[in-house]
Amino acid sequence: MSDQPTVELSILILKYGLAGLFLFAGGAKLLGAKPLRDLFDGLELPGATMYAVGAAEVAGAAGLLWGPTILWAAAGLSMLMLGAIGSQVRAGRSVMQTLPPVVVFAATSYLIFLLWRVV
């Protein structure tokens, strides 16, 4: 029995779930939400970085929803999460504070793995 329907369903769930997450998070950054400004200040990153990351997240979310770019979008968002993890570690954040980008990195990486199985 083929596991192809399960793989396709997993891809759909990850694709739409991650797109929603990144659209929400990126939109909040682009709108300059105070908690996110405080977070970027605490990470000692320039203010414009928050807007650049927000734009990358929104673009990545759009890329996840457009078939030809899903793999590239997932790869870009995965690298973005590596940067988030590095920023958290560099700032001396606790494991619990660093966990969200680690979980999202794992999800984007798993999506890449599933997409390679389908190709």
Domain count, the chain: 1
Range of the domain at 104: 4-118
Compute the mean pLDDT over every residue in the chain, rounded to the nearest whole number: 94
Identity of the residue numbered 19: A
Check pLDDT > 90 for residue 70: yes
Q: What is the pLDDT of residues 40-65, one digit of tens each?
A: 998 988 889 999 999 999 999 999 99
State the pLDDT confidence band at 4, using cuts at 50, 70 and 90. confident
| 111, 74 contact by CB (below 8 A) | yes
Quote the pLDDT of residue 47: 82
Q: What is the pLDDT of residues 76-106, one digit of tens each?
A: 999 999 999 999 999 999 999 999 999 999 9
Round to the nearest angstrom and report the end-to-end CA distance of the chain. 19
Q: Residue 94 and residue 80: Cα distance in Å, rounded? A: 20
Quote the pLDDT of residue 2: 62
Instruction: List all residues 6 or more positions away from 111 whose beta carbon is below 8 Å from its beta carbon.
Output: 11, 14, 15, 18, 74
DSSP 43-103: TT--HHHHHHHHHHHHHHHHHHHSGGGHHHHHHHHHHHHHHHHHHHHHTT--HHHHHHHHH
